[in-house]
Structure 1
Amino acid sequence: MCKLKLLDLPVEILSEILIHLDHLYILRCSSVCRQLHALVTTSLALQYRIELASDGLIDGHPGGPFSTTAARMEILLERRAAWRALRPKQRTAVALAGRCHAYELVGGLFAKALEDVGAARRLVAAWLPGCGGERRIFRVDDLGVRIKDFALDPSQDLIVLLEHRPAAGSSSSSAVGADICVHLRRLSSGVVAPHPAAKVPVLCRLGLGPVHGCMIQIVEDIVGMYFWMPFHAVLIWNWMTGDELVFVQEDETPERIWDFSFLSPRAYMVTTLKDGGEIYIYRFGDSPSHKRPTHVATLHLPLPHDERLLLELTTTTGPFLAYPPPDVPFASARNARVHVFTLHHDPVTQRGRWQPACFVMHNQTLMHYVDAYREEAGAAADVPWEEWGPHGTRFFVLAMGFQWLRYVHGTRVVCPVLQPSGESRVEVLDFNVHASRAPTIAEKLAAVRLGIDAERPPEGARLVCEPSLFSADMVFANEVFTALPYYTAPAPGQCEPYVGYMIDEQRLLGLKVRSLVSGSVGWPPRSVSLIFLFGNHVGQPVYGGRPW
């Protein structure tokens, strides 16, 4: 009996088999023989899978306005060309009135809580416009509680409200005596109804004391909080089950802790100012009985300069979405992200003259230590700068510090970089860099549709692969070389009076703040965003079967 070989299968069946492989395995298969190479290079579905992974993306939900693979591939290549050239398809403006107490930009939704004597009870938000979609602004005039902060995940129809409780038991909430109350609400209900996936709609914690400085983040089924005033602590819940998974108090945190960020739904890091700066990496499990995270590694920054004092070491990354939004063809993969660490040093002899700088690294560099940790090994890895920093990071001197968050999304960062001439230039840095190759015919056609020359770099753009020197007299005891490759291009609107930039999957936002009363001082009550659109966004968000 004749045995059927893999290559004897019909092309359609072979293609269906390969589509379930990782993009790297697909590429390996294409190098096995001419038949597989021809199959991979001529299959639109396989090429789309490879191009998605190349840009750090995952496919969106089936159907919708981009139901065919051909349409999605066309949009992907056009968006790639638009971001490379920073040539927006559309420019528009959105104005949100009211004093800003807290704000968020996640999944195309920009929201801010309106200031009301140190807290907020009202919310204003806008679904930002996209190519083919209209912006929509909505308001919530009474959240039912005064809030200190909030977080969003539109892909889960979730908004998390951190209730403002200046003293234990001082709120009108039913959780009398609790210091921390976190309300889990549905976005589509007008931010009023509890989220149906939350077993406990209000998460409470006793015994922390009044909280003045804190932040809150959502990562899939996790809600995490970091407190820095008047005490340092880390508190993490599974918001769906209501289980408290991590609680670390001040005396259990690393010495001189400064900031916190998630790496994944089960891993996080904190930064410290000790010994010129350190990064502590932790992982945790699903059991509510063991609330202490596992310390897996400590990464050390270069030795500090004797004449410099490290005052801040902040870290930020893009928002986490549990799923691609329902109305987009694709979205950033969770692991395809970078973290930006901002350092503020003060000269010891000339206090008050800050020198802002930052460095960027991939999430996978940090997650390597989480994945490599073994319980039986016992102690956490202690990693000197020389083993992880020179090839895993890139340092920049900043013209100024960051005034607004959400300047990172996926592998892109928008920031004010100090040029060798001493001038400031806002640049979009992209750390998703691959080996150089000539553009394909499909890429050329996508660029032509946008009026872009795919073979000529945009003015001011460059690919940086060579190491750069961070001078010793700036911050550290010795000269520091970093070599993480990146692509950079000047952001549009350089001459506009923007107070900051934000970035997301398909937009670059230039932020302005205005006062409604001429000559007034203080925090301006009106914010205006000029939006540069680089992607397609069609249709209205729908949750629970109805638009909102």
Structure 2
Amino acid sequence: MDTDQQVNVEAAFSLPNELIAIVFDELDVVSLLRCKQVCQLFRSVITTNAHLLYKAELFFGRFENGRHCNLDTAGRLRACRQYQQAWNNLSFPDSQFINMQDGHAWELSGGVLCQAMQSQSGLACVQLPCKIKDIPERKWTIDDFGFGIRDFTIDTSQDLIVALEIVGPIPNRTCNVHLRTLMTGEHHPMAAVPFVTHLLSNMHEELRFLIQVCGSRIAVLYQEHGDDSNSRLVVWNWKSGQQKLFIRDTDLRSFSFVTEDLLLAGVIAVDSDETPPRLDILSIDSFSEEIEEYKDVSYICGLEYPKMKADVLGMLIRSEPTPGWSPSQTVQTPFFFARSDRIFTVTMRVSPASNSTEECTVLIVPLSTIMAQVELSRNTQKRIVPWAQWGPNGSYMLLRSPSETWVCYGYGMKFIQLLPWKKGNSARVYDFNKHAARRDLLWTRLGMPQSLNSRCSAFDEEVNTYLPGRVTTVEVMPSDTSHEWEAAMIGEDNIVLVSPNARQYGYIAM
């Protein structure tokens, strides 16, 4: 070591610990942990500084710091450690039953369970608790919106309800997309118009809807059923009322927001019956207000499924929370799930030619896998990515049959599946946070590729997938009726159980 280097080292070690901690705060967590191994002084500075320790806990838990919490850093650090320990130990001390309303529509999002009431013009809402985060249970109702609610979704971060109203007889039916506040049901003050209207084209009585909110944008997929069934995907800026995208096609089956500008669309048989299903990434800002057929859409890239020897009967893409979501100011949570990565669950029902029984696969795709392919497609439009180039080491496929009704089985990096052979008293939970996989006792690491071929006859090629993570089985609260739980759903702080026959929900919470 020359003289100048020795002077610099001595100067660094003569700095006050508080100043060294300020310098360390400029580092990312990986670099911070390396500094911790340099010497006793650096280790002492890091391990005695609540802010640096909290920064590391947020990184490993995949959390963001809450903006509307009165706890100091030391209090947030304690809560974060307790929270991660509760997940590691599967500790859910709080449990409660909730009566199921007689309305047909419901939503679970942002820690709030909302149900349409029997009149179909009102909602019953429950904020699910979390003692570690000091979130209490809270119940409220909105008695009358002034119209019948056909379907709805909520965005707790913007105090927003998007409620659909079907108006008029066939063939002149329209759909009004109402924009109301979640707390009061009044017209949302940030919306330029109280509702936007979409003309429903076909003659079918049966309609299904997929609704999502992401920041200033609302997307609705209208799915009509019949011999000439069609799907229409429409995106509006709900704050201005301006239509941003309109796609019409029979092969468009589902979608989810990737970012406020990017959509992940599930499509089948786009080019021919020999084409495997795809997950296409679309840029909303590249569209005009005109109707487009899907064959004319300029998608960024298409992620192909493995080659199939089965007919696709249905596809559903889910991802919670939506990008840009953060807790409401009324919930003073110290931290919440980070928006930097989350999983997309792609549930696909198929009918194999060699088997009269339907099969169901769930493909779990992290946001990081999707964004990596978007980056590789920066200079190319309509780039087709074969399964072998993205799927085996960027996704995880399960042979599962999750509920088609109670579809909130993924949140953040976690996925849940009720185990029917355990009489509804146990659920399997997957956690694809690769950092959490090293810090557990009751969980099993996912250390080997997952093979489907011995149990699934839907694909025409070998299907092996791998994502780092962990899996465990959790005991859930027993039903207090003769009816067993039929489905499990998961949120950030809780697990929700469903028994339609008993007309009851149950939750276990931290």
Equivalence for 1:331: 336
* Paired residues of 1:276 and 1:310 also in contact (CA < 8 A): no
Q: How far off is 1:200 after superposition? A: 2.5
Equivalence for 1:19: 25
Q: How far off is 1:290 after superposition? A: 8.4
Output the amino acid matched with 2:490: I
Cα distance per residue 1:323-356 (max 9 Å; x no partner): 23332111112232101112222132554x1112
SS in 2 for 1:196: coil
Using structure 1 for the length normalisation, give the TM-score.
0.78
* Paired residues of 1:273 and 1:312 also in contact (CA < 8 A): no
Q: Which runs of 5+ in 2 are unaligned?
A: 1-6, 270-274
- Paired residue total: 477
* Paired residues of 2:485 and 2:498 also in contact (CA < 8 A): yes
* Paired residues of 1:399 and 1:417 also in contact (CA < 8 A): no
Cα distance per residue 1:432-481 (max 9 Å; x no partner): 023865x6xxxxxxxxxxxxxx7xx33xx411111121116522123211
Using structure 2 for the length normalisation, give the TM-score.
0.84
Equivalence for 1:432: 433
Q: How far off is 1:167 after superposition? A: 3.9
Give 1:328-477 correspondences, 5 Å limit: 328-351=333-356, 353-374=357-378, 377-398=379-400, 401-416=403-418, 426-434=427-435, 457-458=441-442, 461-471=443-453, 474-477=457-460
Equivalence for 1:233: 232
Output the amino acid matched with 1:492: E
Q: How far off is 1:79 after superposition? A: 1.6
Q: How far off is 1:35 after superposition? A: 5.5
1-side partners of 2:43 and 2:375: how far apart? Answer: 33
Q: Does 1:128 align with 2:121?
A: no
Cα pair distance change 1:3/1:428, threshold 3 Å = closer
Output the amino acid matched with 1:48: Y
Equivalence for 1:448: none
Equivalence for 2:246: 247
SS in 1 for 2:391: helix
SS in 1 for 2:475: coil
Within the candidate set 46, 51, 75, 2:52 is matched to: 46
Within the candidate set 129, 140, 152, 1:150 is matched to: 152
Output the amino acid matched with 2:369: T
Output the amino acid matched with 1:194: H
Higher relative contact order (CA 8 A, sep 6+): 1
Equivalence for 1:510: 497
Cα distance per residue 1:298-343 (max 9 Å; x no partner): 11111113xx322222221113263233321111122321011122
1-side partners of 2:436 and 2:61: how far apart? Answer: 13
Percent of counterpart pairs with the same letter? Answer: 24
1-side partners of 2:137 and 2:96: how far apart? Answer: 10
Output the amino acid matched with 1:413: F
1-side partners of 2:65 and 2:333: how far apart? Answer: 9
Cα distance per residue 1:177-210 (max 9 Å; x no partner): x83322211223x21x221222233223457567
1-side partners of 2:509 and 2:192: how far apart? Answer: 39
Equivalence for 2:106: 103
Cα distance per residue 1:160-183 (max 9 Å; x no partner): 11222354897xxxxxxx833222
1-side partners of 2:66 and 2:135: how far apart? Answer: 17
* Paired residues of 2:219 and 2:235 also in contact (CA < 8 A): yes
Q: Does 1:276 align with 2:276?
A: yes
1-side partners of 2:14 and 2:286: how far apart? Answer: 47
* Paired residues of 1:271 and 1:279 also in contact (CA < 8 A): yes
SS in 1 for 2:92: coil
2-side partners of 1:151 and 1:511: how far apart? Answer: 19
1-side partners of 2:404 and 2:171: how far apart? Answer: 36
Output the amino acid matched with 1:339: F
Equivalence for 2:4: none
2-side partners of 1:140 and 1:286: how far apart? Answer: 38
Cα pair distance change 1:319/1:9, threshold 3 Å = same
Q: How far off is 1:417 after superposition? A: 6.3
SS in 2 for 1:391: coil
Cα pair distance change 1:357/1:203, threshold 3 Å = same
Give 1:34-113 correspondences, 5 Å limit: 36=42, 38-64=44-70, 67-96=71-100, 98-113=101-116
Q: How far off is 1:16 after superposition? A: 3.6
Output the amino acid matched with 2:430: L
* Paired residues of 2:248 and 2:291 also in contact (CA < 8 A): no
Cα pair distance change 1:136/1:372, threshold 3 Å = same
Equivalence for 1:530: 506
SS in 2 for 1:365: helix
Q: How far off is 1:264 after superposition? A: 1.4
* Paired residues of 1:198 and 1:242 also in contact (CA < 8 A): yes
Equivalence for 1:195: 188
* Paired residues of 2:233 and 2:245 also in contact (CA < 8 A): yes
* Paired residues of 2:156 and 2:327 also in contact (CA < 8 A): no
* Paired residues of 1:91 and 1:532 also in contact (CA < 8 A): yes
Output the amino acid matched with 2:450: S
Cα distance per residue 1:459-514 (max 9 Å; x no partner): xx411111121116522123211111221111223875112111111111111224
SS in 2 for 1:505: coil
Within the candidate set 177, 180, 184, 1:182 is matched to: 177
* Paired residues of 1:29 and 1:37 also in contact (CA < 8 A): yes
Q: How far off is 1:17 after superposition? A: 4.9
Equivalence for 1:164: 166
Within the candidate set 486, 490, 506, 1:499 is matched to: 486
Equivalence for 1:545: none
Q: How far off is 1:126 after superposition? A: 1.3
